[in-house]
Structures are given as C-alpha cells and as structure tokens.
C-alpha cells in the first residue's frame, strides 16, 4: 500500500472517531436537546487531539517505509489528489451554501457555525474516501 493511501486510511479513521467524540461532547453539553453554542475549550481539545493523532500516525507510517514517505507523489497520485480535492471542494461548497441559506431563513448563528464545521469535516472525509477508492480502482 502506498504511503499516501495509508495516510488517507489513518486520517479517515482518526477524523471519524474524533468527530464522533466531539459530537458526543457537544450533546453532553446540551441539557435540553437544543444545540449548545460553540464551545471553545471543547473545540480546542478536538483540534489538538486531531493534530496529535495525525502526527503520531504519520510518524508510525513513515517509520515503516521511510523512502516512500520522502517521495514526491507521482503522476498517478497527483491525478488522484486532484480528483479527490475537486470532489471534496464540491461537498464543502455545497454544504457552506446550504448552511448560509439555512441562516438566511432561521438566523441561527450557532447552526451556521456547526453547519460549516460539519461541512469541513464531511469534505475531508469525502476526500480521504475518494483517494482510497481511486488508489484501488482503475484511473483514467
């Protein structure tokens, strides 16, 4: 398995698990079933945990194949990254526009924040998934 594919697998799992934990933490703050306002300490903990997990994971992956880790992406990998980035961008753009439209009608700033944040996470997850798919299938 290529270094960048391992990286995509690692980040897909890490981001999924930590995002579920983050959502659980938010629901824990919500006593009455309402969306709680954005909580900076929880967000910072989530971000720091994600960075630490990402760094540790990449150190482990790189240690298993140092030459692969130092290599630049080749022509096929660049094509995979471009396609994954484009699809991820569509997801993010569509989500942000949807969140803005929701805000226009509901005027709920908290929902806007969470909507955009969820789109950011979803677009990253889509990017990792598309990369993994393209690594394993035919690429024209």
Partner 1 sequence: MAKAFPISNRVREVREQRGDMTQSDLGKLVGVTRQTIAAIEQERYSPSLETAFRIAREFGVSIDSLFSWKEDA
Residue 1 lies near partner 1 (rule: CB under 8 A): yes
The window from 21-29, 35-43, 74-82, 111-119 that contacts partner 1 (CB under 8 A) reads 74-82
Q: What is the DSSP letter of 36?
A: P
Smallest separation (angstroms) from partner 1 to the CB of 136:
9
Report the nearest approach of partner 1 to the CB of residue 66 (Å). 14
Quick check: 74 binds partner 1 (CB under 8 A)? yes
140 is a contact residue toward partner 1 (CB under 8 A): yes
Chosen residue from 16, 17, 37, 76 binding partner 1 by CB under 8 A:
76
**Helix segments in 2-108, DSSP class H:** 3-29, 40-64, 66-70, 75-106
| 101 closest CA partner among 116, 88, 86, 120 | 116
Q: Which of 9, 42, 68, 87 binds partner 1 (CB under 8 A)?
A: 68
Measured CA to CA, the distance from residue 8 to residue 25 in angstroms comes to: 25
């Amino acid at each position: 398995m290529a270094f960048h594919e391992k990286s995509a697998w690692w980040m897909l799992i890490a981001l999924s698990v930590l995002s579920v934990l983050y959502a659980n933490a938010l629901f824990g703050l919500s006593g009455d079933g309402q969306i709680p306002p954005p909580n900076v300490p929880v967000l910072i903990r989530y971000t720091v945990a994600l960075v630490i997990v990402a760094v540790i994971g990449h150190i482990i992956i790189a240690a298993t194949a140092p030459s692969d880790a130092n290599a630049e992406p080749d022509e096929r990998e660049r094509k995979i990254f471009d396609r994954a980035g484009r699809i991820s961008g569509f997801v993010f753009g569509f989500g942000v526009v949807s969140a803005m439209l929701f805000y226009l009608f509901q005027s709920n700033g908290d929902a806007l924040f969470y909507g955009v944040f969820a789109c950011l996470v979803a677009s990253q997850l889509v990017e990792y998934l598309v990369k993994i798919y393209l690594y394993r299938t035919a690429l024209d």
